[in-house]
Chains A and B, each alone.
Chain A
Amino acid sequence: MSCGITLGEKLPEVIIGPFDADALQRYADVSGDTNPLHLDETLAQSIGFSSPPVHGMKILAAFEPMLKNWRSELKIIALSGKFVQPILRGESVKLTGKVLRVSDTEIFVRLFAHGPQRLPAIIGEARLSPPTEPFA
């Protein structure tokens, strides 16, 4: 146990989205990821999507506030994710997390982002350090 965190603890779920065309354009503008696949409905439909897919990074990045809202005293030292399924424009996303490992120096959290599909959109992980650990 570390900081009162228990193995198997589930983080409060967070729902984000649905994201409209304006939201995707704003993310493209700020991130510089102007890949037309995310912005051009005609292009997206030409390769078989019913709507443009949301930038995966927009969703992965949303895990940071989720983790901070759960335990603001912890430092996030690593965040990663595999993009398994696209989330399409207009779809909501459920972010979940579960503590899989706890030590005096690190908390390991498995993360999932689920859209309407059966498979998760993102399978991710975060590593956090307790406040007693030096992290400049």
Chain B
Amino acid sequence: MQNDQHHLSLGPLRLQVDPTRAKTYALETGGDGLSAPLAYPAVWLAEPKLLEIIQDLCRSQDVIPVHESQSFFYTLELALGESYDLYVLLKHETEPSRLIIEATIKTTTNKLVATIETILRLVPHDIMKEKA
């Protein structure tokens, strides 16, 4: 892991498209569970190494992460049961306060599978209450 003032990179994290979890994820989002959902890599955002960084940042700044946008761009399909390497770049912007998570999924033989961008708006608790 490397860290500078506002950027942090993580990975590769070797992760698997768990067939049971992928099927459950698909069924919970209206799919048939016969293939890996496009949005399945969202579950990898909850990987402990990555989640801890996000939670630590939010705790230290007393903010609530609000999902602002999400994108998935595929060059290869995800396969059920297959393992992949996840590379993550986290960028913390301050005005407005956002955490941008750029993830790249590659096969274990280094072929690009997908790129993913997650943007979390970091909203102070008091402002969140005013806006809701």
Expressed in whole angstroms, the minimum distance between the Cβ of B74 and any Cβ of chain A is 5
Tell me the nearest residue of chain A to B76, going by C-beta: A136
**CB <8 Å contact, A30 and B21:** yes
Contacting residues, chain B, for A83 (C-beta < 8 A):
66-70
Residues of B in contact with A, size category = 35 or more
Contacting residues, chain B, for A68 (C-beta < 8 A):
31
Q: How far is B30's CA from A16's CA once the two chains are assembled, in angstroms?
A: 8
**CB <8 Å contact, B77 and A136:** yes
Contacting residues, chain A, for B132 (C-beta < 8 A):
47-49
In the complex, number of A-B residue pairs with CB atoms less than 8 Å apart: 105
Does B87 sit within 8 A of A, measured CB to CB?
no
Tell me the nearest residue of chain A to B21, going by C-beta: A30
Name B31's contact: one of A14, A31, A64, A81 (CB within 8 Å).
Answer: A64
Does A4 sit within 8 A of B, measured CB to CB?
no
**CB <8 Å contact, B71 and A26:** no
B15-52 interface code vs A (CB 8 A; 1 in, 0 out): 00000010011001111100001110011011100010
Q: How far is B43's CA from A48's CA once the two chains are assembled, in angstroms?
A: 28
Q: How far is B70's CA from A48's CA once the two chains are assembled, in angstroms?
A: 25
**CB <8 Å contact, B42 and A61:** yes
> Number of A residues contacting the other chain (C-beta, 8 Å)?
38
**CB <8 Å contact, B51 and A32:** yes
A85-96 interface code vs B (CB 8 A; 1 in, 0 out): 000000000000
**CB <8 Å contact, B74 and A60:** no
Expressed in whole angstroms, the minimum distance between the Cβ of A21 and any Cβ of chain B is 14
Name B29's contact: one of A64, A82, A136 (CB within 8 Å).
Answer: A64
A64-B38 in contact given A30-B25, A32-B51, A78-B73 (Cβ < 8 Å): yes
**CB <8 Å contact, B28 and A57:** no
Given contacts A60-B70, A61-B25, A64-B29, 19 further A-B contacts (CB under 8 A): A27-B28, A32-B45, A32-B47, A33-B42, A48-B129, A48-B132, A58-B29, A60-B39, A61-B38, A66-B30, A68-B31, A78-B71, A78-B74, A80-B69, A80-B72, A80-B117, A82-B68, A135-B77, A136-B75
4 A-B pairs with least C-beta separation: A32-B46, A48-B132, A80-B71, A61-B29
Could you jot down 7 A-B contacts, CB within 8 Å?
A27-B28, A32-B43, A47-B64, A49-B132, A68-B31, A77-B74, A79-B39
